[in-house]
Each structure stands twice: as C-alpha cells, then as structure tokens.
C-alpha cells in the first residue's frame, strides 16, 4: 500500500521551499503516494499564510500540479476549488464549498454574501440577498 504524503513534505517540499523535503515528497510521489483533501487545505493555509506569504495563484497552480501526480479523494472538487481560489478573494474553504455545489450537487445554506454570490454565479442556490 502506498504511503501517504506527510503534511510537511507536501506543504513545504512541493513548493521547493525546503530542498530536502522536496526530495522526500518527490520520492513519496514516485512510490505512489496518496493524499487527503485536508492536507491540501493545510498546504493552502500554510503556504499562503503569514510565514511563507506565497501568492495564492501560485499555490493553487502548484497544488493542482500535485493532484496530477497523487491520488486524492474529492479530486474534481479540489481542482475546481483551487481554480476558484486562484481567481477570487474568497478563502480556500469557501472555494471548496462553492466547488462542491458544481461537482457534487450539494445545496449550501450560508449567510456569507460573497460566497452566496459565487455560488449563484456557478448556477447554484444560496440564500436570497436581504
């Protein structure tokens, strides 16, 4: 059974920030590693956050490339969420919620007007604006 990619390897190594972790991540990928949606979320949070401050569009591109190489649950939803994240100012979790409307057919009840707007533009249903 392939190993799961460790969080530190995925979030730091794949962006090339720490060369030794990048090598470990590459080795894990070549061995058939799998990852989880929660790991992708943590990568976005850390890489775009206060410590690394990497441009969100760059992080979205790198993580989309990662999804070409590893197996991940909810891959279609994550791909769409990463694309939304690269082109919107919403946080990544909101982008996952919006992507879920399109890729999984979920209905969303949210009081977040910006998220409701994105869901509406994607053809989903949110709460009516007051």
| Residue 116 vs residues 103, 108, 120: alpha-carbon distances, Å | 16, 9, 6
Q: At 7, list the tokens.
A: 């969080």
- Asked if residue 49 and residue 87 are part of one domain, the reply reads no
Are both 68 and 88 inside the same structural domain?
A: no
Residue 2 confidence (pLDDT): 46
Q: What local confidence, expressed as pLDDT, does residue 14 receive?
A: 52
Q: Which domain holds residue 96?
A: 75-130
| Whether 19 and 66 share a structural domain | yes
90/122 same-domain check = yes
**pLDDT by position in tens, the chain (length 130):** 344 444 444 444 454 555 666 777 778 888 888 999 999 999 899 889 888 888 999 889 989 988 998 999 999 999 999 999 999 999 999 999 999 999 999 989 899 999 999 998 887 765 555 5
pLDDT at residue 52, rounded to an integer: 81
On whether both 25 and 55 belong to a single domain, the answer is: yes
- Indicate whether 79 and 118 sit together in one domain: yes
Same-domain pairing of 56 and 115: no
* Final residue belonging to a domain, choices 55, 73, 91: 73
Q: What is the pTM of this model?
A: 0.81
pLDDT confidence of residue 122 = 84
Q: How many domains does the chain contain in total?
A: 2
Supply the pLDDT for residue 100.
Answer: 96
Domain shared by 52 and 81, yes or no: no
Q: What is the pLDDT at residue 104?
A: 94
Alpha helices in 2-130 (DSSP H): 7-8, 19-30, 37-48, 56-69, 75-87, 92-104, 113-121
């Amino acid at each position: 059974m392939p190993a799961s990619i460790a969080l530190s390897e995925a979030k730091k190594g794949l962006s090339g920030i720490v060369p030794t972790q990048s090598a470990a991540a590459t080795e894990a990928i070549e061995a058939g590693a799998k990852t989880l949606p929660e790991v992708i979320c943590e990568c976005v949070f850390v890489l775009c956050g206060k410590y690394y401050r990497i441009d969100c569009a760059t992080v979205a591109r790198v993580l989309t490339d990662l999804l070409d190489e590893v197996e991940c649950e909810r891959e279609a939803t994550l791909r769409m969420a990463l694309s939304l994240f690269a082109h919107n100012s919403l946080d990544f979790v909101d982008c996952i919620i919006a992507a879920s409307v399109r890729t999984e057919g979920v209905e969303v009840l949210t009081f977040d007007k910006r998220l409701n707007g994105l869901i509406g533009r994607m053809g989903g249903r949110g709460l009516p604006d007051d």
